[in-house]
Structure formats: structure tokens, C-alpha cells
Structure 1
Amino acid sequence: MIEMFVQGISLDPVSQMPIVLLRAKDDEETILPIWIGGFEAESILRELQGVQPPRPMTYELTKNIIQQLGGRLEKVVISDLKDSTYYAEIYITQGTNTLVIDSRPSDAINLALRFGAPIFVNPEVLEKSHVPKPEPEEEEEEKKKLREWLENLRPEDFEKGLS
């Protein structure tokens, strides 16, 4: 498993759909973009920015329920990619039991952020999500473009179109 962290939220320039960007903790070139819904992106942004809602929203409520039942979110795993759909699992420990619960990645990531739990990606998911390798000179140009795009992301870009 590869441990990742949330790099941020961006918008797909074509579809205007939000994308959560996960980056490997030990390898700055390993990035996994996952297209998600607006509500989920807004919730991730709120948590990344430390904005607490006056009343519990869905993910805060879910966290409260897990804790009130004596549970603790141990980790989340982006476990598979099938037909362009990502799958995730939430690992909750309650006493000596560990529950593994199927989840959408956006929901799993939202909960991981609220619990401070690690986010892992199955290496096979990264392999499946890769686009075919371009020619060496094209690859360098693509890396340069991606690096420039990531370096030029601003907080305003993350919020654009999500409120």
C-alpha cells in the first residue's frame, strides 16, 4: 500500500467537475486524481481550510456516530478501479473488531481527514489509472506541464465553482 495525502481540490478544465488530488507521501511525482461530486469537494475544502460548520454536516455526523459507538477510523484504502470507477474501503476499529466498509473514495477521504487517519492506495490502482507512456520527449514536456499546473494552483482555484 502507498500512503497518500490530499494535495488539494481542483476543477477539470473541460467538464468543470471537481478533482481531489492525492499525492504519495514519499514520492512527489506519484499523483492520483479522482473526479468527485461538488458536495464532497466542498466538504474536503472546508476540512482542509479548518472551517467548522455551526452544526454537524454529514461527515461530522458520521464521525460523531462512529466515536459514540466506541469506534475509531484506522485508515482508508482506495482499493480498486473498475470501469473508470474508483472503490474505497474504510477500516473502523471497535474494541477488538475491525470493520471494513465499502465506500466511495470521496466519502472515505472526507472521513479520513476528519479523523486524521492515513489514506492508502493499492499500487494496482495507480497502475490501472496510468495513461499509456508517451515518447520520452513528449513525457518530459507533459511532466513539465503537470508540474507547472500543480505549482501554479492557488487556493482560489480550489474554491472556484464549488460554493
Structure 2
Amino acid sequence: MYLKMNIHGFALDSIAQRPVVLLKDADEANTIPIWMNSTDALYIVAELIRHDAGAKSDRKDLLSALLNHFDAEVKEVVIEDMKDGLFDAAAGVWVDDAMVMLPVRISEALSLALKHNLPVMVANHLLDKISYVGDEDDERFTDADTRRFVDFLENLDPADLGKYPM
């Protein structure tokens, strides 16, 4: 089962000094922060700029040209799992009357979602995995600490973090 989420904002985490993408569901009941390195963030920004520039001309980027040539279309973007703090993502491409799931980096998945105006489908089990703080013997975090952090993420306004222009 998957939860349909949208890219809510792209900002700079002032504490970690890292770019973060916020995914939220339609009800804004669930928030998933995706911290990334500056290289991946620049990749997304470069893709958006290239997409805007490409829309004004007849030239296409390599992926768009290949998709067009093979009469293929990106239909979905999925985040399947998280291992060692890294997300496993895939792009569903419709080609020859079949859906082909291609594994991609999280930055590529988010870029495709923005470029093709698609929601990000997140596996439901990830919500539990992401909200997990530590084992029961870990006394650094209390339930109140966890709730305050969740409230902070749910009420986070990207403008407060210095939103990048897109």
C-alpha cells in the first residue's frame, strides 16, 4: 500500500546546513523530510532550470528525447524503502503497453516528480520506519520529545527555512 504525497517545499535546514525536501500528503497529516547532500540538491535545481529553458525551445534533454523516441512516458515515482538512512526510489515508465520500474536515486525521483507533475508514492511501512526514534532502552528521547519533533515537522513552513526560488 502507498501513500500519495506531494513535494511541499525545498529549503535549507538551518541547523544541519543541508538541503531538505518536505513531502506531505493531501491532508498534511504526514510529513517526510528528505535531507540530501548539496550535489543532489544542485541536480534537482539544475533539472528544474533545464526544464524551464527546454520548455522555451524545441530542444529536449537526453531522457526526454529517449522517452519521446520510444513512445514512453513516466507514470509514477515511488519511494519503496529506506536502508541505512538512504531512500530506495523507482520511476515507473510506461513503454510497449507495460510498466517498467527503474531504480533511481532519490534526487532523480524527486526531479522526475517535479518535471512531470507527479505525486510521490511512498510505501506505508516507511512512515513507521521514519518515525522510529530508537530502541526502548534509548533514554535520550522521551515521548514528549518525539511529539514535539513531529509537531515541528508537520507545522514547518519552508519560508521559515529560506526557501530556494523555483
Asked if Structure 1 and Structure 2 have the same fold, meaning a TM-score greater than 0.5 normalized by the shorter chain, the answer is yes
> Does the aligned pair in 1 maintain the 2:20–2:35 contact within 8 Å?
yes
Distance 1:18 1:89 in 2: 21
Query: What does residue 154 of structure 1 align with?
Result: 159
**Change in 2 beyond 3 A, CA 1:142/1:118:** closer
| Contact 1:63–1:115 (8 Å) recurs in 2 | no
**For structure 1, which segment, 44-53 or 111-120, has the greater mean C-alpha deviation from structure 2 after superposition?**
44-53
Residue pairs, 1:101-140, within 5 angstroms:
101-132=102-133, 134-136=142-144, 138=145
Partner of 1:5: 6
Taking structure 1 as reference, are residues 118 and 21 closer, same or farther at Cα in structure 2, changes over 3 Å only?
Answer: same
Q: CA RMSD in A?
A: 3.2
* Count of residues in Structure 1 that have an aligned counterpart in Structure 2: 154
Residue by residue over 1:129-160, the C-alpha shift from the partner in whole angstroms, topping out at 9 and shown as x without a partner, is 11438424x45544554455x13x32881229
User: What does residue 138 of structure 2 align with?
Assistant: none
Q: Please, which runs of 5 or more residues in structure 2 have no aligned partner?
A: 134-140
Paired residues of 2:90 and 2:109 also in contact (CA < 8 A):
yes
Query: Does the Cα contact within 8 Å between 1:6 and 1:21 map onto a contact in 2?
Result: yes
Is the partner of 1:112 in helix, strand or coil? helix
Q: Percent identity?
A: 25
Higher Cα Rg, which structure: 2
Distance 1:72 1:16 in 2: 36
How far apart are 1:32 and its partner, in Å? 0.8
Whichever residue aligns with residue 79 of structure 2, its letter is I
The 3 A distance-change label for structure 1 pair 143 and 79 is closer
- Alpha-carbon distance in structure 2 between the residues aligned to 1:107 and 1:17: 18
Letter in 1 for 2:99: T
Please name the residue that 1:33 is paired with: 33
Is the Cα–Cα contact under 8 Å of residues 89 and 109 in structure 2 kept in the other structure?
yes
Contact 1:74-1:118 within 8 A present in 2 as well: no
* Cα 1:45/1:134, change in 2 over 3 Å: farther
Specify the code of the residue in structure 2 equivalent to 1:103. Answer: V
Alignment map for 1:75-94 (pairs within 5 Å): 75-94=76-95
Question: How many Å apart are 1:69 and its aligned residue?
Answer: 1.6
Compared CA separation, residues 144 and 98, structure 1 to 2 (3 A): closer
1:104 Cα deviation (Å)?
1.2
Give, as a single letter, the amino acid of the residue that structure 2 aligns with 1:158: K
